[in-house]
Amino acid sequence: MADTGIFATTQEIQDKAGANASTTANVEAYTNRFIAQAESRINTESEYNWSDVYATLNADVKKILSEAASNLAAIYVINYDMSGFSTLNEAATMVNILFTCYYDCIKLLRETDKGQIFVREA
């Protein structure tokens, strides 16, 4: 099986989900589904279809999309089964950090001033 996502890879998701993530959900069959959901959410929340223009984007913009998608998909992996973490607080802290970083990326992608100009024209 191969990565089918546009914005992020299974390896990027695994890196962010951490060493204690579910061995079931942290494999390509699951991460491919999680990344597809994350990409749709990014496109919807940023109010722009990045998937359709991905090949034409600057490397910096692609990395913002990669960060956002891998953060959100890693949250899905962690939420699938938190039993591998030493405490639920450890898993919750990881989810909170990943969501904050995801949200920061969405804000960058949605900016209507100079940020948006850079992202769309880079």
Please check whether residue 71 is in contact with residue 106, taking contact to mean a CB–CB distance below 8 angstroms. Answer: no
pTM here is 0.89
CA distance 45 to 66: 15
Residue 102 confidence (pLDDT): 98
Q: Does 4 reside within a domain?
A: no
Q: Does 14 reside within a domain?
A: yes
Residue 93 confidence (pLDDT): 96
What does pLDDT average to in each consecutive run of 10 residues of the chain (122 residues)? 87 94 90 96 93 92 96 96 91 97 93 59 64
CA distance 10 to 33: 11
Identify which of 46, 48, 37, 92 has the alpha carbon closest to the alpha carbon of residue 70.
37
Q: Provide the domain limits for residue 90.
A: 10-121
Residue 110 confidence (pLDDT): 85
CA distance 92 to 99: 10
Residue 120 confidence (pLDDT): 64
Q: Hunting for tokens 């949605």 — which residue is that?
A: 110
CB neighbour burial string for 97-110, b if at least 16 within 10 angstroms, e if fewer: ebeebbeebbebbe
CA distance 44 to 82: 28
Number of separate domains in the chain? 1
Q: Does 26 reside within a domain?
A: yes
Q: Does 17 reside within a domain?
A: yes
Q: Does 41 reside within a domain?
A: yes
